[in-house]
Structure 1
Amino acid sequence: MPSRAIDPDTVQAFVLVADLGSFTRAAEALDTSQAAVSLKLKRLEDRLGCRLLDRTPRHVRLSPRGEAFLPAARDLLAAQERAWAGLSPAPSRRLSLGISEHVAGPELPSLIGRIAAHDPNLVIEVRVAASRDLIGAYDRGEIDAVVVRDEDERRDGLLLATEAFGWFSAPGWRRRAGEPLRVATLAAPCGVRAAATRLLDAAGIPWTEVFVGGGILAVGAAVSAGLGVAALARRVAPAGAIEVGEALGLPPLPPADVVLLARPADPWALPVLRMIGATFRSAGTA
């Protein structure tokens, strides 16, 4: 009877390509080449006798057989981790990660899931706050790594994406004639708030602050409730909100580089940091 064994390395490569939607990003997470990932996928497809991915020059999508195989692939990797843990239980490890309010978008749950699947013994501490606060905590050695907007053009960060910003409101919101622009913002100090209000002042557009939130979720709720407009990264704008900057004659908001700052103290942290970087690169525009 022919062997039905499957190389777990090829399965891991398949799961990463499926999650990140890119051979390039999967190669970054695995610290290998795109050609090596492609070869692993070919070996797996040959072993299974079916195509798992549909490839085009710009996109990678799961085939119907790939969709069916993905849950089993995750189970196989999880079983392998449990088997290793049973033979030689590893000590728990801890990684503290800071993510900017304007960067922590919809991929955050999947990122946490991938990190947990990669290292079940890892305790993940995630702090979501203003970029400036996180950079300060990182510089003081309080956080192992941060994903932040590069407000100070640092040279020690790894560029992950270039984030686009816009002015967003609820679909039914309208600015009343002669009334100052109603603005919802994050609490100061916030680099995006400072840049947005500075641009409004420079353009001679009267504005008034109608809502101050302690987090992006709160600002998004104010936008969805129709309180006014907010300057937000496009990825974190609330569902259903529309970009209204051009229609209202508001000044364009400049893009911002998103960088990863990290100082891994232990070798085990390196693949985790590669996973973080690849995830944000796959979700960003860089």
Structure 2
Amino acid sequence: MIRASELDLAVVMSPPDCVEGTRLRRSQLVWVAAETLEPPPGASLPMAFSPKPCVNREVAGAALDAAPFEWHVVFTSVSPHGIRAAVLAGLAVTVLAREDVEPGMKIVDGRYGLPPLPSVDFSLIWSEGGRTECACRFGQLILEMPDLPVYGKA
């Protein structure tokens, strides 16, 4: 939507090698499941992801393609709340930023043969024509938010 100039300003999640915008913070991605999830040994591991394009799905897919076990997508949703609901219901494993793990979820990095995941950056980006006075002021408010570590240009 930024590239199509449908939005003036956005906070986006991207792989750390992306050089677009102003990096706000870096976060570690983790594999997450319900505290109660215990898939049968050797069974295909159920996954929940947002539809493409989604950074979490792309990162997870790349990691899973190299994994030595079977997996399948059992749930998709455009809503992060939908993904979290599927995980909390014990239906699937997903990928979240570490700080997004909720009560009732457990981090399962390294379990079930799950490979390590990279970190991601949250960046503030503008569209080509998006540097309006209003968008610039709003962007500055985001940059000045308390408890928001700013790492400089990505």
* TM-score normalised to structure 1 length: 0.47
Aligned counterparts of 1:237 and 1:218: Cα–Cα separation in 2: 14
Aligned counterparts of 1:285 and 1:177: Cα–Cα separation in 2: 43
Unaligned runs of 5+ in 2: none
Rg larger for: 1
Q: Per the alignment, do residues 236 and 158 of structure 1 end up closer, same or farther by CA in structure 2, a change over 3 Å counting?
A: same
Aligned counterparts of 1:241 and 1:282: Cα–Cα separation in 2: 25
Corresponding position of 1:239: 103
- Write out the 4+ residue segments of structure 1 that deviate beyond 6 Å after TM superposition: none
SS in 1 for 2:124: strand
- 1:195 deviation in Å? 1.8
Q: What one-letter code is carried by the residue in structure 2 that aligns with 1:209?
A: V
Aligned counterparts of 2:111 and 2:8: Cα–Cα separation in 1: 42
Unaligned runs of 5+ in 1: 1-136
Backbone CA RMSD of aligned residues: 2.2
Q: Give CA deviations for 1:164-217 in whole Å, capped at 9, x if unaligned.
A: 110111111102112011111112222221221221121222101111112111
- Higher relative contact order by CA 8 Å / sep ≥ 6: 1 or 2? 2
Q: Per the alignment, do residues 244 and 273 of structure 1 end up closer, same or farther by CA in structure 2, a change over 3 Å counting?
A: same
* TM-score normalised to structure 2 length: 0.83
Which structure carries more helix by proportion? 1
Corresponding position of 1:251: 115
Corresponding position of 1:154: 19
- The reply to whether residue 224 of structure 1 matches residue 88 of structure 2 is yes
Aligned counterparts of 2:3 and 2:50: Cα–Cα separation in 1: 23
1:264 is matched with which residue: 131, 146, 150?
131
Aligned counterparts of 1:234 and 1:278: Cα–Cα separation in 2: 23
Q: What one-letter code is carried by the residue in structure 2 that aligns with 1:160?
A: L
Corresponding position of 1:273: 139
Aligned counterparts, 1:71-86, within 5 A: none
Q: Per the alignment, do residues 185 and 144 of structure 1 end up closer, same or farther by CA in structure 2, a change over 3 Å counting?
A: same
- 1:284 deviation in Å? 5.8
Aligned residues: 147
